[in-house]
Amino acid sequence: MAHLELEKYLTETDIEGRLAVPSEWLEILLPSFGKGSFEVQLEAKDGVGFYWQFCCAIRKEGYPKPVLQSAGWLKFVNAKDLQVGDKVVLDTKADDFRGTKIRIRAQKDLNRNGHWVDV
């Protein structure tokens, strides 16, 4: 798989419940699902080196509409003190030591000058 990097600016729903995953992220996430599987545990490394576990679910019929379920996702949100307008970047950078295939980075524009930093 070619290296992919995709981003999403967080909404109130993303902060308070679950991360509604943009359709472009399917290319990164769907290979993790086995045939007939609608939920998968994802392991990812963040932008500062910490390891995270998320549960990603898709619909059983129609458009998959993936979401990162609240349990692991809200731990990430709270640990990073994420707010509406902050950004999450998902990419296919693997970490062979941890065995992860994806990286999820939380970013903030701390000085509101367009310079995003990993938190």
Sequence spans of domains, the chain:
5-118
Distance (Å, whole) CA 5 – CA 88: 10
pLDDT in tens, 45-77: 898 989 999 998 888 888 778 888 888 999 999
Sign for the CA dihedral angle at 6, 87, 75, 11 comes to negative
Phi, psi dihedral angles at 101 (to 5 degrees): -110, -15
Q: Give the predicted TM-score (pTM) of the model.
A: 0.84
Nearest to 71 by CA among 19, 1, 113: 19
Most confidently modeled range among 6-10, 64-68, 101-105: 6-10
32: confidence class by pLDDT, cuts 50, 70, 90: low
In this structure, which CATH number among 1.10.10.10, 2.40.330.10, 3.40.190.10, 3.40.50.1100 belongs to the domain 5-118?
2.40.330.10
